[in-house]
Structure 1
Amino acid sequence: MNSLMNTFLYHLAVVEGVTQLDLQPGKLGDRFVAIPRGPQAIFVGVAASDDAIVPSDTGAVWFPTPPRTTAPMAKPVILHFHPGGYVMGDVRTDATFAAQVLTERVGSHICMCLYRLASNPGGRFPAALQDALSAYHHLLQEIPASNIILSGDSAGGHIVIGLLRYIADHGVETGLTPPKGALLFSPAIDMLAPLEPGTITKTRNYNNDYLDPTFLSWGAKRFVSQNTESRPYMNPLGHPFKSPCSIWVFCGGCELFCDDVTDFVEQMKTVKGNEVELRVERLANHDIVFAGNLTGWRSQAEEAAYEAGRWISKLS
């Protein structure tokens, strides 16, 4: 299966396939939510650093159903950002397994957020961050921050790291209250390294994972901003910050990103007050919470989600 996944990603990168952002409900009905761009006041600093990339409307899909905000919820709502190297992914069709395990093991309702992809014009940084800010602001109008968990896998995890940094830097200024906690599943950490594909092939786990260097390089070249202010958002390594909430991190021991993830966790732990927990599935490859049903890691993905849910239950 690794070779099939690798081949698929390689060919997608070669043809530079485009995933259109579809903001129509279609057959999803009330499970689809249109998210208007947030108020201008929440877009400051790095979120307003590129005059060509401006806040836009986005959308999300609820799994299994939208929450009844008037009724008490036993578990928190999860705001989740999908994977895809910033160039692919559509929660309408791709997120079924991840949504299932997260709903059953972690949260009562999962809001799977769409965001602008860098494979489209106008999709480079900070487009995805702007969409994440709009989505979080939208949820805050109905659900208290104390009942929201931010979550993301792969590139989606990279979005969450950036969102946490942004809230740490600008939360008071923008009125964005910190969430209850954050989950990072196989997060992409360094978006600068893949600009040179040769750095990927030298990675310790290169031969153990299905991620393709051509695909990763395509995503990085489309996504990365040249604005120096954005560098800590491109690669948080060497730029630890005081997180506004506790963080739980999962990765596979055979992942391409494993060493980066471990370094990120250790660096974040050096910041006084940060609470960061890491769980490694020793032999797993990339993002089993998203693709474990395809790559033979279903039970381990379910166990990881269960542990994430147990961690959340202990948060004050």
Structure 2
Amino acid sequence: MDSSKPLWSSQPFKAVYTAYFLLKTPVHLLLLSVGYIVKPLRPLPSWSVRDNVHAAMARMLFSFWSATWSQRPVYTAPEKAHDRHALVDPPPDSYFTGALVASDLVKPVAVDAIWFPSPPSSNPAELAKQKVILHFPGGAFVLAFSHESSGRPIANMLNKHFKADRTIWAQYRLSGTPETCFPAAVQDAVSFYHYVISLGVNPANIIVSGDSAGGNVAIALARYLQSNQPNLPLPRGVVVFSPWVHVTATAGRDYDREPPSRADILHSSVLQWGADVYRPQAQLPLEIEAYISPLHHPFELSVPLYVQAGTAEGMYSHIRSFSEEMDRVGGNRVRFHSTPLAPHNLPFCHEQFGRKKEFEESLDEASEFLGPANGI
């Protein structure tokens, strides 16, 4: 992994760069707002002026966070969730084998979980009948967002449309040091999943979910559970939104080569930053590569996999290809949902882009796909 920090991440340079960003950005956005009135000048002419400006602002923020290594730009301490906060201890070492085995540097640790809308019941008989969504949030493996301002709206939508009793916001470790590169995030995913089962929740009532990099973690967890290495039962199904499936050593350049990336919300620098610090090294054994970058590494999965992507996102072609590869594996049940003109990560930005209806339609379709009609 490359953990060398950029100049602007250290003081006093960070303060100078921040001041420059705060002075420049409003002017830049104002000029873009005027320029985008002319439809051909918009990065995506079929989007409104507002949508194009929102996307431009997001790209600026991602670029700024990457330049300054600001890993928690909008963050709420987990302890502020009070009784909805749980400190999840990792299970015994025997649950971490193969690609997830602990090394001298990367070891399973306790992680923070936040429950929505309330903490789990203390009655095991009641828990056994309840449906729980285990959700891994995105952030390119390097960014964490508030479990309140980001997590609560997403959890509310998931609970409503999947008719779930609770969603657990599972913030895995961010990468940035040799101790937090792969397999740290997936080790944490195993810890979260083991924790939910240990409470008494029936695995058939657990839906594993994730957006963006969190979708990558959800897919990696599914791959690991399918291998039966941890001797943990599989969940009811896996639902991922805009999963980052092409996490290569050249992630930034790969993204920029995709035509929709010019208008999408992500900036290539945040993807390159994430790939640099999440990947242990540029060249990896095939088994490890498959967990980190699942595109072109399909696997057998005995539970349904639902994948959503927006046609206006820079990752669209990679996500579609991954879904097609998974669908070609004999016995797999895969549903790919293409949302027209949607940007990256609808769970995170559907409100800003006026795509709530499209997000809800995708959630309803995913719920139906994972329902009793599929024998789950």
Deviations 1:88-131 (A, max 9, x none): 11352321221121111112210110210013552210000000
How big is the shift at 1:17? Answer: 1.1
Question: Is it true that 1:134 corresponds to 2:191 in the alignment?
Answer: yes
**8 Å contact kept, 1:55–1:131:** yes
In structure 1, what is the equivalent of residue 260 of structure 2?
205
Matches within 5 A, 1:276-295: 276-295=334-353
Deviations 1:174-204 (A, max 9, x none): 21111111101111101105x3532221113
Gapped runs of 5+ residues in structure 1? none
Q: Of 171, 185, 191, which residue of structure 1 is paired with 2:241?
A: 185
Distance 1:191 1:204 in 2: 18
Question: Is it true that 1:82 corresponds to 2:155 in the alignment?
Answer: no
Distance 1:120 1:190 in 2: 21
Q: Which has the higher contact order (CA 8 A, sep 6+)?
A: 1
Distance 2:171 2:262 in 1: 31
Gapped runs of 5+ residues in structure 2? 1-53
Deviations 1:46-81 (A, max 9, x none): 101643101100121111112334326776210010
- Partner amino acid, structure 2, of 1:190: H
**8 Å contact kept, 2:175–2:278:** yes
Deviations 1:136-186 (A, max 9, x none): 1111112121111110000000001111111122x2x42111111110111
Are the structure 2 counterparts of residues 56 and 78 from structure 1 closer, same or farther at C-alpha, using a change threshold of 3 Å? same
Identity across matched positions, percent: 29
In structure 2, what is the equivalent of residue 43 of structure 1?
96
For the residue of structure 1 that corresponds to 2:142, the secondary structure is: coil
For the residue of structure 1 that corresponds to 2:352, the secondary structure is: helix
Question: Is it true that 1:308 corresponds to 2:369 in the alignment?
Answer: no
Structure 1 stretches of 4+ moved >4 Å = 22-25, 72-75
Are the structure 2 counterparts of residues 17 and 265 from structure 1 closer, same or farther at C-alpha, using a change threshold of 3 Å? same
Are the structure 2 counterparts of residues 18 and 119 from structure 1 closer, same or farther at C-alpha, using a change threshold of 3 Å? farther
How big is the shift at 1:238? Answer: 2.0
**8 Å contact kept, 1:82–1:91:** no
How big is the shift at 1:210? Answer: 1.3
Distance 2:151 2:178 in 1: 24
Q: TM-score normalized by structure 1?
A: 0.92
In structure 1, what is the equivalent of residue 85 of structure 2?
32
Q: Of 232, 241, 257, which residue of structure 2 is paired with 1:176?
A: 232
* Aligned Cα root-mean-square deviation (Å): 2.1
**8 Å contact kept, 1:289–1:302:** no
Q: Of 113, 126, 129, which residue of structure 2 is paired with 1:60?
A: 113
For the residue of structure 1 that corresponds to 2:240, the secondary structure is: strand
How big is the shift at 1:305? Answer: 1.7
Q: TM-score normalized by structure 2?
A: 0.78
Distance 2:258 2:130 in 1: 39
In structure 2, what is the equivalent of residue 296 of structure 1?
354
